[in-house]
Amino acid sequence: MTPDKTNLGTNYVFRALADPTRRAIFEELARHGEQTVHALTGYAGVSQPAVSKHLTVLKRAKLVRHRREGRETHYRAQPDALTPMVDWLRHYGAFWRDRFDRLEVLLERMDP
Amino acid sequence: MNDSGSNPAEGTRTLVIERVFPHPPEKVWRALTESPLLTQWLMNNDFEPVVGRKFQFRSEPVPNWDGVIDCEVLIVDHLKRLSYSWSSLGADFVVLWTLTPAEDGTHVRMEQSGFGPDHQAAYKGAKYGWQRFFDGLERVLGGSAG
């Protein structure tokens, strides 16, 4: 069974990106590079505490990194963190192809 | 017999496997919907072809995974379509089987799409659906998204 390749990192990535606002924030950072929480708040259309909370979830999934500069925190996307998710879906491809082979064998054996 | 993998145009959202089996749809349908037959080619299960029925696929537990996939039957369209949700490790998918009579048997299409109800809602007009998300990120990810 293929999901044995899955690790907790994948799980965090899926959960982090299950929320449309977090996807939007991540996408914005991936497209336009590093930004402050303040700038992201304007973009996301939700309160600054809400944006900070979303960023914490993204950070835990290693989808974003941050650095402090003076009183501002700057965030940037880490698209490489998506790799486990992409890999996981690839494993599902191998999984289903294998099961299709088994289905074919079974169909041969079954009564008409 | 043809066999296609995930459609590159679909990115990572949807996995599609298609194959023509030289057997009538009635027989393929039985293999997809009779629990003991499903066990033989897919996984141990307590499946019943009844919409709303919750069931599990179970395989050998491995490190970091208990081997359980939680499912719920979504569509039972006799000899044509079968769909169930597929959840494990916090990731929610929908599996859709489509059977089409072919000249020499049955064309079987399996589509596994992510990522659960939120994903479905996102398709219906929310601004940042998965489709747009992955379309946009394909450039950022370079070749690795295919």
Read off the pLDDT of residues B101-132 as tens digits, 9 standing for 90 and up.
Answer: 999 899 999 988 865 444 443 333 333 444 45
CA distance B30 to B46: 15
Tokens of B12: 């990572």
- One digit per residue, the tens of pLDDT, for chain A of length 112 reads 344 344 455 667 777 887 778 888 988 898 889 999 999 998 778 899 999 999 999 999 899 999 999 888 999 999 888 776 666 666 777 888 899 999 999 999 997 7
CA distance A107 to B137: 41
Whether residue B79 is contained in a domain is answered as yes
> Which one, of B42, B26, B1, lies nearest residue A111 by Cα?
B26
Are A84 and A7 spatial neighbours (Cβ–Cβ below 8 Å)?
yes
CA distance B57 to B95: 13
Range of the domain at B42: 8-140
CA distance B108 to A57: 39
Angstroms from A28 CA to nearest CA on chain B: 10
CATH code, domain with B56? 3.30.530.20
Amino acid at B106: T
Run means of pLDDT, 10 residues per run, chain B, 146 residues: 37 73 94 95 96 94 76 97 85 88 93 58 39 51 42
| Max CA separation in chain A (angstroms) | 75
The complex scores an ipTM of 0.72
CA distance A78 to A95: 28
Question: Whole-model pTM?
Answer: 0.61
CATH tag, A2-109: 1.10.10.10
Whether residue B145 is contained in a domain is answered as no
Residues sharing a CB contact under 8 Å with residue A42, sequence separation 6 or more, in sequence order: none
Q: Which residue on chain A is closest to B116 by alpha carbon?
A: A18
CB atoms within 10 A of CB B2: 7
- At residue B11, the pLDDT reads 38
Nearest CB partner across the interface for A1, out of B67, B127, B141: B67
CB of A6 less than 8 A from some CB of B: yes
CB of A94 less than 8 A from some CB of B: no
Whether residue B2 is contained in a domain is answered as no
- At residue A80, the pLDDT reads 81
Whether residue B34 is contained in a domain is answered as yes
Query: How many structural domains does chain B have?
Result: 1
Whether residue B1 is contained in a domain is answered as no
- At residue B4, the pLDDT reads 41
